[in-house]
């Protein structure tokens, strides 16, 4: 699949999680890589002293990482070199690094292993529960991040595949507004980097339909725009709260604040004024 211009590098998110585990768990070696079709490519490292593992391709079902990639379940070995549960295709680079106890955790998205995270020690002692917990947390966060990025890419592909036609303009406008609200909803669970990209896309969508925001446009907060975007789709306060994972009273508070800033006396008027100011598509 051709990388999206919007999508940040997944390797950057992977690197961030590996560094987080290394800092929190204090484990000597943490590393990992992304899965490309049936091959895991090791690219990110903390604590290694050789280049033997760098760029190493690990095939499905081979070694510990390949086994984890295939089963989509975490696995560990207390002594890599003597483990009977894995193949030993990668003993030379692993031994060169002095690694013995290893834990591997898959990052599973849509029933596919998309990356593998490892933690390892050079001594004979097995990795403890604390390290396991941190590595599992990192794997879950990375899976969530990749899921959001995949969904954003999917929706943008749908948008690009259906260019507006004159006779379908009203339907296209409604679809753009729906996508705008959904992208802002997805931004809630994204990383800071991806959230910034998503908000930029949403602003471009609003400008596409309404032009640049007016010079006298009130300054609405991101949450106020999130709520108005859902209201614009016809959502009730309760539905908006469910979509944005907020309390109904919190939604009411954001809506009242937005209405006051827009000098609007109803939900509908607030949406209309926000669109006139170029704040919503």
What share of the chain has pLDDT > 90, as a percent? 48
C-beta separation of 204 from 183 below 8 A? no
pLDDT at 148: 84
Residues 187, 10: Cα–Cα separation, whole Å: 16
Record the pTM: 0.66
Residues 115, 107: Cα–Cα separation, whole Å: 5
Give me the residue spans of the domains in the chain. 10-146, 162-276
Which CATH topology does 162-276 take?
Answer: Arc Repressor Mutant, subunit A (1.10.10)
pLDDT at 208: 67
Looking at the predicted structure, is the pLDDT value of residue 125 above 80? no
If you average pLDDT over residues 21-30, what whole number do you get?
Answer: 94
Looking at the predicted structure, is the pLDDT value of residue 96 above 90? yes
pLDDT at 141: 92
Query: For 144-148, 202-206, 216-220, 234-238, which range has the lowest pLDDT when averaged over its residues?
Result: 202-206
Looking at the predicted structure, is the pLDDT value of residue 89 above 80? yes
Looking at the predicted structure, is the pLDDT value of residue 257 above 50? yes
pLDDT averaged over every residue in the chain: 86
How do residues 50-83 score in pLDDT, each as one tens digit? Answer: 999 999 999 999 999 999 999 999 999 999 999 9
pLDDT at 1: 44
Looking at the predicted structure, is the pLDDT value of residue 166 above 50? no
Confidence band of 217 (pLDDT split at 50, 70, 90):
confident
Looking at the predicted structure, is the pLDDT value of residue 22 above 60? yes
Higher-pLDDT residue of 262 and 31 is 31
Q: Which CATH architecture has domain 10-146?
A: 2-Layer Sandwich (3.30)
Residues 92, 96: Cα–Cα separation, whole Å: 6
């Amino acid at each position: 699949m051709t990388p999206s211009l919007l999508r940040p590098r997944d390797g950057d998110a992977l690197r961030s999680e590996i560094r987080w585990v290394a800092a929190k768990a204090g484990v000597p070696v943490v590393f990992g890589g992304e899965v490309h079709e049936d091959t895991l490519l090791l690219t990110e490292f903390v604590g290694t002293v050789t280049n033997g593992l760098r760029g190493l391709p690990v095939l499905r079902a081979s070694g510990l990482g390949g086994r984890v990639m295939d089963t989509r379940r975490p696995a560990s070995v207390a002594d890599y070199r003597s483990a009977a549960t894995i193949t030993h295709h990668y003993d030379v680079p692993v031994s060169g690094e002095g690694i013995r106890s290893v834990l591997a955790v898959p990052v599973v998205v849509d029933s596919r292993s998309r990356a593998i995270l490892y933690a390892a020690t050079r001594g004979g002692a097995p990795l403890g529960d604390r390290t396991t917990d941190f590595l599992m947390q990192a794997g879950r966060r990375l899976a969530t991040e990749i899921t959001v990025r995949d969904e954003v890419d999917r929706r943008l592909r749908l948008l690009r595949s259906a260019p507006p036609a004159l006779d379908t303009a009203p339907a296209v406008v409604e679809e753009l507004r729906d996508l705008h609200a959904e992208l802002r909803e997805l931004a809630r669970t994204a990383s800071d980097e991806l959230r910034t990209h998503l908000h930029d896309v949403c602003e471009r969508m609003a400008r596409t339909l309404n032009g640049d925001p007016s010079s006298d446009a009130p300054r609405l907060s991101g949450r106020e725009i999130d709520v108005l975007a859902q209201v614009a789709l016809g959502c009730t306060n309760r539905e908006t709260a469910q979509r944005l994972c907020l309390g109904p009273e919190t939604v009411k508070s954001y809506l009242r604040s937005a209405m006051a800033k827009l000098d609007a006396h109803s939900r509908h008027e607030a949406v209309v004024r926000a669109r006139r100011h170029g704040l919503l598509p």
